[in-house]
Amino acid sequence: MQRSGTARAIQPLVAFVYIDPSVGSLILQVLAAAVLSVVAFVGNCRRAVRAFFSRLTRRPQ
């Protein structure tokens, strides 16, 4: 029951898909994309913080 409930939570597919994308693949995709988005977000934050501090340390020169 839990499985089909999760499957139903996925957005409907577009009209002209003629390949079976498989439910497991779609579920993994949603979960993986969410995790990867967080990773990308954290990475961007780290880069922003580093850039900020590198600007600070450069300023006295």
Partner 1 sequence: MPRLGGSFRDPSGFVFTAGGTLYRQVNRVFADEFDACTREGLYDALIGEQLLVPHQRVDLSLAATPEAHAVIAPDVVPFVSHPYEWCFGELRDAALLTIDIQLRALERGFVLRDASAHNVQFAAGRPVFIDTLSFERYRDGAPWAAYQQFCEHFLVPLALMATRDSRFGLMLREHLDGIPLQFGSALLPSRTWADPRLLLHVHLHARAQRRYANATISTEIGGRKLAKSALVSLVSNLRNAVTALSWRPDGTEWADYTSATNYSDASALRKRELVLEYLRRVQPGVVWDLGANTGVYSRIAREVAPMVVAFDADPAAVERNYRDVRAQSDQGLLPLVLDLKNPSPALGWAHHERMSLVERGPADTVMALALVHHLALSGNVPLEDIAAFFARLGRTLIVEFVAKVDSQAQRLLRNRPDIFPDYTSAGFERAFGQYFVIADCQRVGDAERWLYLMTRREPPSA
Which stretches of the chain bind partner 1, using CB under 8 A?
3-4, 6-14, 16-19, 21-30, 32-34, 36-37, 39-40
- Count CA atoms within 13 Å of residue 34 on its CB side: 5
Residue with Cβ nearer partner 1 (14 or 56): 14
Virtual CA dihedral for 27, 32, 34, 36, nearest 10 degrees?
Answer: -170
Residue with Cβ nearer partner 1 (8 or 58): 8
- In angstroms, what is the minimal distance from the CB of 47 to partner 1? 15
